[in-house]
Amino acid sequence: MRSKNSLTAKINLINLFRELWQEHIFWTRNFIISAVAGLEDLEFVTNRLLRNPTDFANVLKLYYGTEIAKKFESLFRAHLTIAASLVNHAKAGDTEAANEDRRDWFKNADEIIDLLGSINPYWNMKKFKSLFYQHLKMTEDEATYRLNGKYAQDIINFDLIQADALKMADIMSYGILEQFYY
């Protein structure tokens, strides 16, 4: 059996965080499409999307313990439920409620960033915060493009979301590698 310091273990950790972030944006996108179009799969897509915080927490628990993992899971689940509310309010044309959701979403992002910054000194939280805020903006744009039938722009935007998600994944995995493997 290889030690946890093996190259394979390090590559697996990088790939795991990339997979988690890819699933996050993929299922968020599916939620937006299903919610906007009123598809019958919305409940199933939502349930799968809401599994993502637990999947992240299960990995974080290995390094930071159950309490931190549960805090992250709760905050990340709120990230998704606030986003869903924002999409639904935007679809309904309720600008006031959508603006309130947006404020709550960025407040929640700050809470996630603060938690992560408190547990790993190797995470570049300035860069992560910039990427996470950009993620929120682009995800809202994704929903707006979808609501307005601007599908070509939606696809271009999703490519940008994917690139940023991979950058956030790398910040997280490289920080864990630095903190625990080197």
What is the per-residue pLDDT for 2?
41
Q: What is the DSSP letter of 181?
A: T
Does residue 115 contact residue 172 with C-beta atoms inside 8 Å? no
d(CA 87, CA 81): 10
CA diameter of the chain: 57
Phi first, then psi: give them for residue 56, nearest 5 degrees. Answer: -60, -45
What is the distance between the alpha carbons of residues 148 and 142, in angstroms, rounded to a whole number?
Answer: 10
Distance between CA atoms of 151 and 170, rounded to whole angstroms? 29
Q: State how far the Cα of 50 lies from the Cα of 76, in Å rounded to an integer.
A: 9
Question: Can you give the pTM of this predicted structure?
Answer: 0.94
Q: How many residues does the chain have?
A: 182
Residues of the chain predicted below pLDDT 70 = 1-5
Tabulate helix, strand, coil % of the chain (nearest 5).
Answer: 85, 0, 15
Residue boundaries of the structural domains of the chain: 7-180
Tokens 């999947």 belong to 55
Q: In the structure encoding, which two tokens stand for residue 77, read together?
A: 């689940």
Long-range own/partner contacts, residues 152-160 (CB < 8 A, 24 or more apart): 158/25, 158/29
- Residue 3 is predicted with a pLDDT of 54
> For residue range 37-80, what is the model confidence (pLDDT) as tens digits?
999 999 999 999 999 999 999 999 999 999 999 999 999 999 99
Q: What is the pLDDT of residue 1?
A: 35
Listed residue (22, 84, 90) closest to 50, CA to CA:
84
User: From the CB of residue 30, how many other CB atoms can be counted at a distance below 10 Å?
Assistant: 18
